[in-house]
Structure formats: structure tokens, C-alpha cells
Amino acid sequence: MPSPIVETDRAPAIPGGRYTAQENADGTWNVFDVAIMGEMPKETRGNSFDVGRDWQEKAVAYHEMKYREDSYLPPLHVHHHSLFSDKTRGAGKFLLRRVAQKRYEGREMSTLFADLLQIPADVFDAIERGELPYRSIEIADWDKPEIT
């Protein structure tokens, strides 16, 4: 039987870091409603157009469709493949959930939120200690609204 949803009460030394988490029966964790991507002006990361609410909402719809039709959840990992290839490891899966306004660097912007699912206990402990404070998404093709 899964544990009840608990609020993490240990915050890292940086702002933020308070999420709702739930332990699964197998000892992995789910962390809900994590902001993973804000708006991106044209040419921020090789994108040829401004990426905002419309792109983000299409990405949520695509991910929901893939989950509904194929039970597909994209992989979550610790460390970028190209920068830390010897340290990169699987860290669960994720599902895009919603787009909402969030304040970042002094302004409101549309932000993409996801649930991080089946996170191994040691990775969850590192998140809770503030050792993994950053999120970075991967996009294979800006013309296809999908987080890979």
C-alpha cells in the first residue's frame, strides 16, 4: 500500500524546493507538479521561434495522448548524457501535466509543469537534500512540441 502524500519539509539552501511527494509501494517516489520549462525567446536554445504557452500546451497534449494510447512515459535521468556520460543514470519517468503562469527573474511567464515518477529512493534523497537543484529538458525537434 503506498504511503500517504507527504509534504517535504526540508528545503534546500536555494529558493523553492518544496514539492508534494508520495512514496510508492516499491520504494520509489513521485514528485508532483514540478516546474520544468519556462518561455524561451527565439534562438535561446536553437529554437527558430519564441517558445511559449501555445507550444507548451501542445507538448502537454502530445504527452497525454502518448500515455493514453501507449502507456508511454519519457525517461528521467540524472546528469546530461553529453557532459557526464560516466555519471548519467536513469532516475524514473515523467509526465507533462499543465501550463501555468509562474514568476521567474522578475516577470510572469507561462511555465510547463510535470510529475516526476518512479524516482529511485537514493535520487529522491539527493533531491530532498538540494543536491540536484536544476532541471534541464531535452528537445529533439522544436517543430514537434515534445520533451524527450
In Å, what is the CA distance from 86 to each residue of 133, 146, 147, 148?
Answer: 20, 26, 23, 20
Statement: residue 105 has pLDDT above 70: yes
Integer Cα distance of 128 and 33 in angstroms: 15
Please give the pLDDT value at position 2: 41
The fraction of the chain above a pLDDT of 90, given in percent, is 59
Statement: residue 16 has pLDDT above 60: no
More confident residue, 87 or 43: 43
Please give the pLDDT value at position 45: 87
Statement: residue 84 has pLDDT above 60: no
pTM for the complete prediction? Answer: 0.82
Give 108-128 pLDDT, tens digit per residue: 999 999 999 999 999 999 888
Statement: residue 100 has pLDDT above 60: yes
Integer Cα distance of 110 and 79 in angstroms: 25
Count of C-beta atoms within a 10 Å radius of residue 90: 13
Q: Please report, for the chain, the start and end positions of each structural domain, with discontinuous segments joined by +.
A: 6-10+18-128
User: Sorting pLDDT into bands at 50, 70 and 90, what band is 82?
Assistant: low
Integer Cα distance of 148 and 140 in angstroms: 7
Mean pLDDT of all residues in the chain? 85
Question: How confident is the model over 48-52, as a mean pLDDT?
Answer: 92
